[in-house]
Structure 1
């Protein structure tokens, strides 16, 4: 990182934010925008050529085209002569969702639903643009000063293409294993849009329980756990049956039966949690009040909502792997 070079472009270094697989992120003050921004810095001398060609060029192209209130905005990208890329982005003062969960423990259903709905809207926007994120996890979901969710890090994202009307399946097996669906962990060609939906299910489970639905250092064992479609719902905290049903549909091991984003937004849990009376009740109650009379039973198998993939835009492809 060259602080003088950054200053020449109008950005004064402030402090480090974090490190990733291919670079680091710092905060800087923008003299032009008169506010703090986040700057992702990638030293191309320290990454292999395949990353440059396959991921970095793609990420730079995608982030410039994205404009959504729940997706981190990229203001500018510039590069030094020695091969350091600077990606100037919106700064989120509340950190990431993972840190929020570590600090607070399980989130209330109302807050979880608000954040999850924002995640749905962001991913629906991406999928409509035929972009799959492919690395959705709590660490890649940032929070602004008003606790609005912002999807970030498009380093592993993919532009989806079609041949003869059928999606070209992805054969790049990337992301974080504990957030990955069984079809990806089994190294099968997969529909990355449907894979994103599974990862969203893991995020929702993490918000509500502050733990992972499938956690194992042995990937083979984790796949077996996923394929059983038997989620463990702890007794504490109490979580509504509607939320459990939704998680069952999100974390369905059969690709053709996994719920779509449009169906998520019409699910009983999302609709009930976003009713005005539900919001009013939540504002005057403690984290888990109002749920004491909800039986802590295993969620029924998606009885109140369809889990088929009838939405053509989000559905699985029957195309042969290419």
Structure 2
């Protein structure tokens, strides 16, 4: 009720709950100001752990609000209330997330995979060109609009790159989800966050193509050994073009990292 009143004063009429997390929820709404339906992420700062509240949340809000790209979730405004609530108003992605699509339809054909993957690469390139990294790219953080165009969302682990003596300062924080993580992240050694983002896009592509995880993350040490062997476990029944097989081989060999980082 308090959220409804606070947002009504700013021209928002709350609708259904779209999702809930440990310290917030996402609701649909109609904005009389923007004349469109929107999504509002409601964050209760009193429930947010101190590390996230002091470090990651301010960084997320600052970075997300600075972005303007057709394949990155658009933020209309951020409202901070004295009573400890933050309202992040974004465009409404009516197509759900990419994992929802894969779970309902199964593996996607190569042509829609190609289109979505291209959009993901455009968004990642936009971030990297601005010395920004996402560090939590996964199917659940890739939203779809009503026309199934992709939007990168959830910048909770994002950061701006720093440089020392002309070199990128490596990340040391374990970010993201295990199955999407590059081997150096899983090994808990300093890593190039741009290369880590690129690795995650390869995992997303694999999941789109086969509706399967590329690695078994129940044993992370075995998973790292498989990754370091530059092995791509194609399903036996998979029917994909030679170009796809070549692209996946390039990903796990690390060659593609050089292209995306230059």
Q: Shorter-chain TM-score category?
A: over 0.9
Q: CA deviation at 1:203?
A: 0.2
Say which SS state the counterpart of residue 261 (structure 2) adopts.
coil
Q: Distance in 2 between matches of 1:21 and 1:161?
A: 31
Which residue does the alignment assign to 2:204? 203
After TM superposition, the structure 1 stretch with the greater mean CA deviation from structure 2, 119-128 or 80-89, is 80-89
Q: Distance in 1 between matches of 2:233 and 2:31?
A: 47
Q: Distance in 1 between matches of 2:165 and 2:111?
A: 43
Q: Distance in 2 between matches of 1:251 and 1:88?
A: 37
Check the 8 A contact 1:39/1:88 in 2, yes or no: yes
Q: Distance in 1 between matches of 2:249 and 2:22?
A: 31
Say which SS state the counterpart of residue 24 (structure 1) adopts.
strand
Q: Distance in 1 between matches of 2:91 and 2:78?
A: 12
Moved over 4 A (4+): none
The answer to whether structure 1 residue 119 and structure 2 residue 120 are counterparts is yes
Aligned ranges for residues 136-155 of structure 1 at < 5 Å?
A: 136-155=137-156
Which residue does the alignment assign to 2:220? 219
Q: Distance in 2 between matches of 1:28 and 1:21?
A: 21
Q: CA deviation at 1:217?
A: 1.4
The answer to whether structure 1 residue 92 and structure 2 residue 108 are counterparts is no
After TM superposition, the structure 1 stretch with the greater mean CA deviation from structure 2, 13-22 or 113-122, is 13-22
Question: Which deviations, in whole Å up to 9, do the C-alpha atoms of 1:151-191 show, x marking residues without a partner?
Answer: 00001101101111100001111111110011000001011
Unmatched 5+ stretches in structure 2: none
Say which SS state the counterpart of residue 42 (structure 1) adopts.
strand
Check the 8 A contact 1:173/1:187 in 2, yes or no: yes
The answer to whether structure 1 residue 314 and structure 2 residue 229 are counterparts is no
Q: CA deviation at 1:235?
A: 3.3
Q: Distance in 1 between matches of 2:61 and 2:12?
A: 19
Check the 8 A contact 1:200/1:250 in 2, yes or no: no
Which residue does the alignment assign to 1:299? none
After TM superposition, the structure 1 stretch with the greater mean CA deviation from structure 2, 162-171 or 235-244, is 235-244
Which residue does the alignment assign to 1:167? 168
Relative to structure 1, is the Cα distance of residues 67 and 30 closer, same or farther in structure 2, using a 3 angstrom cutoff? Answer: same
Question: Which deviations, in whole Å up to 9, do the C-alpha atoms of 1:83-140 show, x marking residues without a partner?
Answer: 1111000111110100110111110000000000000000000000100000000000
After TM superposition, the structure 1 stretch with the greater mean CA deviation from structure 2, 92-101 or 210-219, is 210-219
Question: Which deviations, in whole Å up to 9, do the C-alpha atoms of 1:191-231 show, x marking residues without a partner?
Answer: 10000001000000000000010122121221122112211
- What is the TM-score of this pair, normalised by structure 2? 0.96
Say which SS state the counterpart of residue 87 (structure 2) adopts.
strand
Check the 8 A contact 1:170/1:189 in 2, yes or no: yes
Say which SS state the counterpart of residue 194 (structure 2) adopts.
helix
Specify which structure has the higher proportion of strand: 2
Check the 8 A contact 2:231/2:252 in 1, yes or no: no
The answer to whether structure 1 residue 81 and structure 2 residue 86 are counterparts is no
Q: Distance in 2 between matches of 1:20 and 1:118?
A: 27
Aligned ranges for residues 1-322 of structure 1 at < 5 Å?
A: 2-252=3-253, 257-260=254-257, 309=258, 314=261
- Of structures 1 and 2, the larger Rg is shown by 1
Check the 8 A contact 1:23/1:41 in 2, yes or no: yes
Relative to structure 1, is the Cα distance of residues 258 and 26 closer, same or farther in structure 2, using a 3 angstrom cutoff? Answer: farther
Q: CA deviation at 1:21?
A: 4.9
